[in-house]
Chains A and B, each alone.
Chain A
Amino acid sequence: MDDHHRLAAVRQPIGRANGLPNRHYTDPETVAAETRAVLHGTWAGLAVAAQVPAPGDALPLDFAGAPLLLLRDKDGQVRVFQNVCRHRGMILVSESRKIEGAIRCPYHSWCYSTQGELVATPHVGGPGRNSDERLDRSNLGLIEVRSHTWRDVVFVNLDGLAPPFAEAMGPALARWSEFDQPLHHDDRSFTLDVACNWKLAVENYCESYHLPWIHPGLNSYSRLEDHYNIEGDGFAGQGTWVYRQLEEDGRRFPDFKDLSDKWDKAAEYLAIFPNVLMGVHRDHAYAIILASDGPTRTLEHVHIYYPTPDFDAGLADRNTAQWRGVFEEDVFVVEGMQRGRAAPGFDGGRFSPAMDGPTHHFHDWIAGRLGA
């Protein structure tokens, strides 16, 4: 069966559908084509704005094979540029650092402002001559990548062809509009280096079916039957009706302001397609950026946020440790599914119509992006 027919099988009703074919997890050529369609052609998560907290802060990042530069410009605006000089394509910034004045290319020293403007081209017209009438500097600023920051996550649309962010992500924005409030980043962020394709992390995150087996600690108070599935335009996930706040000697994190009663006990966990995993609770939130590093490796960058800047350090230690433990419990699962994709006869698997709806929703979305 060719790839087109296999992808068509993914889009069948859930009771008959197969999962994505093996090659979408293992084959470099297939994954490269998928990357262009899915990661470069949509609004994908790159990083969080808290990683460049002050004007001039610059962070080079590999985004699914593309060298990008996350930068907070001198006026405080977060921008994303292609991290290459317009002269000879040299990488401009090789490590995280502060841009004090201009970004100077380490090759021939062409200089760019933090807003991307090409401001100096030394010796370009010959020694000591810094302009050349045959070269129009005004057209040679850094190539800026479309970006939009939501819930501190910097989303990028690399090919420039996606609908505006607010349109593309409208349903997710609307669902969590109550949480459009200041977020205070906890520097206890951490990264898990996982031997799997990034999609498997999304697939696992979407569903609650695995909770009693993989996360017995969570299940002790948030049972399977306390969860509900979520499927929307551009996202999928799960919610719980029995979120339990951390408490220590009567201390809790303060709540986000003016939430509706639903959130007294509810919490939700959404995969924002393609590669951002988010969670919201009355007293904290988190975002996980899934950074793809080839077909079989994913870096999971985890960032936790609180409603106020002066959050309790002891509780934050516990909260970070708790989430880290949960996410680490998932590692053997996603790595095991990755190894399973080496089985020649595996047909992409099947879905529980009752329990796997959000995961199938993600597969269906991927197949749709690939033209099936």
Chain B
Amino acid sequence: MSDAAILTAHQADDRARLVTLYAEAAAARADDARAFFLTHAWIFALEAGDARADDLRQALARMGRV
């Protein structure tokens, strides 16, 4: 994941790609930073009706973040 890739996905309003990239960013981090990126992945999945939304929410729930 790179900042450039995320910006490109934002510019293209490519929500599926945003979910992927933010989830990857979360996986590479821990604690608050991980929760931050998981949150973004979850929100874009929620908006898009993406099937990954439930798993992302559960990951946040395990961290006590929802």
Contact = CB atoms under 8 A, between A and B. Distances in A.
B50 interface: yes
Contacts of B43: 104, 109, 111, 120, 122
Interface in B31-66: 32-36, 38-40, 42-43, 45-50, 53, 60, 65-66
Given A120-B43, A130-B60, A101 B53 contact: yes
A129 interface: yes
A344 interface: no
Contacts of A128: 32-36, 38-39, 65
The majority secondary structure among interface residues of chain B is helix
A127 interface: yes
A104 B42 CA distance: 12
A127 B32 CA distance: 7
Contact of B65 (A102, A119, A129): A129
Contacts of A248: none
B48 A120 contact: no
A131 interface: yes
Interface in A84-109: 100-104, 109
A173 B39 CA distance: 50
B39 A130 contact: yes
Contacts of B48: 100-101
A101 B35 CA distance: 22
B50 A101 contact: yes
Contacts of B49: 100-102
Nearest to A119: B46
Given A111-B46, A120-B43, 13 more contacts: A100-B48, A101-B46, A101-B47, A101-B50, A102-B49, A109-B43, A127-B32, A127-B36, A128-B34, A128-B36, A130-B39, A130-B42, A130-B60
17 contacts: A100-B48, A100-B49, A101-B45, A101-B48, A101-B53, A102-B49, A103-B47, A109-B43, A111-B47, A122-B40, A127-B36, A128-B32, A128-B36, A128-B39, A129-B35, A130-B42, A130-B66
Interface of B: 32-36, 38-40, 42-43, 45-50, 53, 60, 65-66
